[in-house]
Structure 1
């Protein structure tokens, strides 16, 4: 397995751990407040890293990619939460998860990346694994599918746009600055910014930030299709942490999804 694929898997682990902690934080605070308090922290951290590492000032195109990615990523998060509220959860999770993973693969192929037959089989197995793993009990109403499609589109395009930048820390800082400029005023007006569970909120921030960083490094060092696909394994990490820490149980379909993804990963990364 090459270094880019390993970094993408590290991105999935980081995102998964961050989402696990964010999920715990969202039991006390609205998800919008969690995002509104963590994204500005990530923005400051990325800007400081850019300065400390003497990263050259970014071009306008790099900032543009970062800004667009920030808006679409925020759109994905907020519409996903709303879609889950409307339901049915199973359809919402499968739709957004599979679409969010499929878009980077399709974009990579359109941009000229080539996959062998074995790579293609691995992609299909991982996509099937993500879809099966996302199956949840059917709860909620019937209005969530359009928003689930929008959430999956936002997640997928976030990964595609972020990968177009040649800069690293400045681009990530711009992405979080843009999302913060949208979500902070909205949350302040609707919920207020005073957290009920500040420790969990701030503990979740490094996972999301490190996930972004590792994904961008993986996409720049390797193939967008592979980096995007492997990074989108993060829900598996979140659920496994919930199983270990909170004693939550996975159903048989979800375990089948895990198995397919595990089989598919080495095929995706094979040369």
Structure 2
């Protein structure tokens, strides 16, 4: 059951991230998440009301903390998708997101065998390889060297890792209400980012989100992300944190596939090697 739920979460996350990244490329990351997050909150609130369960203080607090981290990660991730190719950004973010829960699981007493430990080390190597870009000459003038897709993807992955850990810590005694609190945390993070943008720029920079197709993609991305959160939450409560998080972190395979079809993205040789190492690492962790 854990495997099925986590892989279903990976599928939903992969499609949601592709759609969200497509919207961010037509406008900005902040505008994309400002539309996606409220939709996800509405979906999760409806699901929590329909499925029942009594919210607990501990569960809501853990969910809110995870949501704040996840909101920051979502903004950073969408910006990374707008800055770099999806076929690089998505795997880097996913690998970083998988490592923290594995370490947290070990700290909680989850035991990894030798193969899983080797897999985690391979994932670290893969992050470095996949993150290698072609050099600063391709960076637009005036952009900070820190403002590049792979680096921001790693930051977003760390935030998502915290999100995964906190949802596991929320427990399963309060129904889906920890997810509602988590999405509220997402909304708070997005709200703070909006206030900062207004303070610095007097408004939101970038093109407006216009057109039914673009708005529809943003709404669908938010709904799918909420569904993915639910599936991961159920998987994490049903089994080991490390297993649920790593299987869920396979979502880049879907994002990369869609990016190749839609944008004809190609990887450099070193990045292809990194992708291969990533597959080997995640496989070893999963099998272990």
TM-score category (smaller protein): 0.7 to 0.9
Cα-to-partner distance string for 1:4-29 (whole Å, 9 max, x where unaligned): 13322322222121111111111222
Match in the other structure for 1:195? 209
> Distance in 2 between the 1:118 and 1:149 partners?
24
The 8 Å contact of residues 21 and 82 in structure 2, kept in 1 or not, is answered as: no
- 2:160 is aligned to 155
Distance between the aligned counterparts of 1:263 and 1:96, measured in 2?
17
Structure 1 residue 203: Cα displacement? 2.3
Q: CA deviation at 1:126?
A: 4.3
Distance 1:155 1:240, change over 3 A: same
Where has structure 1 moved over 6 Å in runs of 4 or more?
Answer: 82-87, 91-95, 145-149
- SS of the residue corresponding to residue 7 of structure 1 reads helix
Give the Å deviation of 1:82. 6.2
Q: Does structure 1 retain, via aligned residues, the 8 Å contact 2:21–2:78?
A: no
Q: Between Structure 1 and Structure 2, how many residues are aligned?
A: 267
Is the aligned partner of 1:24 residue 2:22? yes
Counterparts in 2 of 1:152 and 1:263: CA distance versus 1, 3 Å: closer
2:45 matched to 1:40?
A: no
Q: 1:143 to 1:257 in 2, by over 3 A?
A: closer
2:145 aligned residue: 142
Q: Per the alignment, do residues 5 and 122 of structure 1 end up closer, same or farther by CA in structure 2, a change over 3 Å counting?
A: farther
Question: Equivalent residue for 1:73?
Answer: 70
Tell whether the 8 Å contact from 2:51 to 2:176 is kept in structure 1 after alignment: no
Map of 1:255-266 to 2, 5 A cutoff? 255-266=272-283
Q: 1:174 aligned to 146, 167, 181, which one?
A: 181
Matches within 5 A, 1:60-139: 60-80=57-77, 98-138=95-135, 139=138
Q: 1:25 to 1:162 in 2, by over 3 A?
A: same
- Are the aligned partners of 1:84 and 1:144 in contact in 2 as well (CA < 8 Å)? no
Name the stretch that deviates more: 37-46 or 253-262.
253-262
Moved more, 181-190 or 37-46: 181-190
Matched position secondary structure for 1:195: coil
Take 2:233 and 2:24, find their aligned partners in 1: how far apart are those partners?
26
Within 1, Cα distance between the matches of 2:70 and 2:276?
A: 28
Change (3 A) 1:82 1:243: closer
1:165 equivalent to 2:170? Answer yes
The superposition leaves residues 91-129 of structure 1 with CA deviations (integer Å, 9 ceiling, x where unpaired) of 998875543322111111001100112222333344444
1:10 aligns with 2:13: no
Distance 1:31 1:127, change over 3 A: same
Gaps (5+ residues) in structure 1? none
Inter-CA distance 81–48: structure 2 relative to 1 (3 Å threshold)? closer
TM-score of the pair, normalised by structure 2: 0.78
RMSD in angstroms over aligned alpha carbons?
Answer: 3.4
Query: Secondary structure of 1:26's partner?
Result: helix
| SS, match of residue 26 in structure 2 | coil
Give 1:226 deviation, angstroms.
2.0
**TM-score where L is the length of structure 1:** 0.82
Equivalent of 1:183 in 166, 170, 190: 190
SS of the equivalent of 1:163 reads helix
CA 267–176 in structure 1, closer or farther in 2 if over 3 Å, else same: same
